[in-house]
Amino acid sequence: MLDEFFQKLGLSERSNIKVWPLGGDIMDQLDLTVFQKPHKLIVLIDGDPGSSAVRKRFITKCEALKVPITRLERYAMENYFSLEAIASVMKGQMPSEIIALDPKKPVSDNSALK
């Protein structure tokens, strides 16, 4: 998703941008200095409250290394997509009666929003 976003902005041609998605339960185990030395590093963290202890440790490591962090307000990356985009990707899994998504819940838990 971010790769396509960078490409549409024309950043892929001007910069060497790499995205490494990390699962919530392993992010605090990563040695960020491996990436930081040869590259400028930034961190984007979603608002998912799961794995909060792991996320806090990861944020502490980032702060110690002076790695900029952006924390998303919504639950996860997919909560920033339109309902039409999510329905298209989910191919029939999204009930047609859903007219809005709650940005504070996982997309999969939005079936109650009608």
Instruction: Give residue 21's pLDDT.
Output: 72
Rounded to whole angstroms, the Cα distance separating 96 from 114 reads: 9
pLDDT tens track of the chain, all 114 residues?
667 777 777 777 777 777 777 766 778 888 888 877 777 888 888 888 877 888 889 899 999 999 999 988 888 888 888 888 888 887 777 777 778 888 888 887 876 444
* 42 and 94, same domain (yes or no): no
* 22 and 65, same domain (yes or no): yes
Instruction: Give residue 23's pLDDT.
Output: 67
Instruction: Give residue 113's pLDDT.
Output: 46
* 63 and 96, same domain (yes or no): no
Domains held by the chain: number:
2
- Residue 61's H or E segment, with its range, is helix 52-64
Residue ranges making up the domain that contains 85: 77-112
Whole-prediction pTM: 0.68
* 58 and 25, same domain (yes or no): yes
Residue pair 30/54 in contact by the 8 Å Cβ criterion? no
* 47 and 93, same domain (yes or no): no
* 64 and 29, same domain (yes or no): yes
